[in-house]
Structure 1
Amino acid sequence: MLLRIMNIDDIKNFSGKIGVKDAKELQNELSTKVIQKNGFKKLQIISGIDLSIIKEKKKLISGIVSFSYPRMEIIERVSRVVDETFPYIPGLLSFREGPAILQTLDDLKHTPDLLVFDGQGIAHPRGLGIASFIGVLTGIPSFGIAKKKLFGEYTEPDIEAGSHSDLLHPEDK
């Protein structure tokens, strides 16, 4: 039976007791709640989010820096160290990192209008990387900026500043 985690508090207090099959099913379910449109209200606070791991101690360090917009002045920094409750499994990092990030978001004094992640968003095999996972759970618009391609196909962009190319779903080729 699929473990249904639809309550944000269930994720914050996630014990890691979910199998790979159920985790993937939950990702598929939550991915249907991703909204892909520009519905931003007036942006005043943008928060950048990243996470680091201390492998030998099985600890996660979640950090958030919030900026005013458009001035881009730092208005708040928070971090938290939590125990690792879910193993490293490619494609399922939301279950490993999500609880730490949600707990750290609770520490913010100012609610962000936009979340920017060092990680995947919809460019994920099930359309639910850490950015879209947290965005769905919090209702805060979010996007991911990943260092490596996890999913999709693209043509390498030119080297000139501002060059880009589209990352396409394999079915959209």
Structure 2
Amino acid sequence: MIYTYRFHNRYSTKRSEIRNEHDQVTGYVQRTYSNPLMKVLDFLLEGIVFADYRVTDRAGNLRVEAKQVRTFFKRRQYMLHYEQEDGTRTSIPIIDKKRFGLEEKTGFELEGRSYELHKPVIDWGTITLQGTTIAEWKTTLTLPPKAQFRLADPSHEAHVLLLLGIFHTYLHSK
């Protein structure tokens, strides 16, 4: 299943509709700020300090809340709070694992399994589980900018908004 959504500018708090391949809204992604001063500071610092997002389902229920861990001495990191449809709430830390180079690389744990996110410079970003691709994500270079998300493994359908939220938070906010 393929999902798409439009990017707004880096500082916009307008929510973007996540649409599936049948053009149905399946959720929303939105940048958030805890107060107006944070938004002004983010604008002055070119959007590199405050990268918080919310992903909601089509009914408006919060599914993923991503908060950037703000520290100047450590690598880029985020804390995602994920609420499944059954009400189970999980916290998922995501920490930058790349040493040098242009590609992006990180990992995270979900339900006792280790996943890895890898994004080469030009190709699709992937989330893999034991070497098998679970999901893919890329942005378009055309205007208006859009993101495309492909769920490669239907057994992860219940976590589609989480996987999309991880890609968006980690790759769009850099």
Answer with 1 or 2: which has the greater Rg. Answer: 1
Structure number with higher helix proportion: 1
Query: With structure 2 as the length reference, what TM-score do the two structures score?
Result: 0.29
Query: With structure 1 as the length reference, what TM-score do the two structures score?
Result: 0.30
Higher relative CO (Cα under 8 Å, sequence separation at least 6) belongs to: 1
Structure number with higher strand proportion: 2
